[in-house]
Structure 1
Amino acid sequence: MSGFKTFLFRGNLIDLAVAFVVGAAFAGLVKDFANSFITPLIALLGGKPDYTRLSVTISGTQFPYGIFVTSAIAFTITAVIVYFLVVLPTTKLIERMDRRREATERECPQCLGEIPIKASRCRHCTIEVVPATEIPL
């Protein structure tokens, strides 16, 4: 029983549970945003984007392909929203933060290994290098 208790209180499981709950809440937020703003905009341009009633019948069997079409449209809208409102701004922010971070290592001109900026000798190939005070960005 102690092994199970250790498993439950391990940090990875708690982090995963929190990520799942936050992800589910975020999915609801994106879905509601799409339903409240994006879908009505699309409806203004091309009519109501609800295709759930579309189906085809072959040999007496009904294939409701409209459900899939509606889900595919919702997925595409959600992916676009997440990309432009979350991924793109976050990527730009991380790039901006990385530019401001001071470099602590540089590449050895001989072996291309990473060495400290102020090093006068490569720790990998032992070639003498000129110490650099600053690496240009």
Structure 2
Amino acid sequence: MFKGFKNFILRGNVIELSIAVVIGAAFTALVGAFTQNIVQPLIAAAGGVDAEGFGFRIWAGNPATFVDIGAVLTAAVTFLITAAVVYFVFVLPMNRANAHTKARLSAEEPEEIPVPVDTALLTEMRDLLRQLAQQEGRGQGGRN
């Protein structure tokens, strides 16, 4: 029972997944800090000096009705930065490594090309004719 668990844990996929989760969490914190402390103030500055940020109030005297467009833009920037880093740091290199491995494996072991049906039938007929000719040759060889 423990041997199976040990094999499961030590398998490469589980270790890689664990590393990805830890790196993803750290990267999310980094991108969140960047967008909150750099991008969001830049977007809020577009709202004006006296405004709460880039947005508007539905009811003039009620701060709870403020629609914060800046927060949505910040979330979109966070998503784009995260997606770009995940693609360029993880997905693209992994695709290249997989393509390289696949190319290397295909160069080592050439794929068996299937024989067309007509060629297979002609080969079988040739072999049968050769076999019949050999049998006839044996039968006549003893009569001479």
TM-score, normalised via structure 2 length = 0.48
TM-score by length of 1: 0.50
Bigger share in strand: 1
Give 1 or 2 for the bigger CA radius of gyration: 2
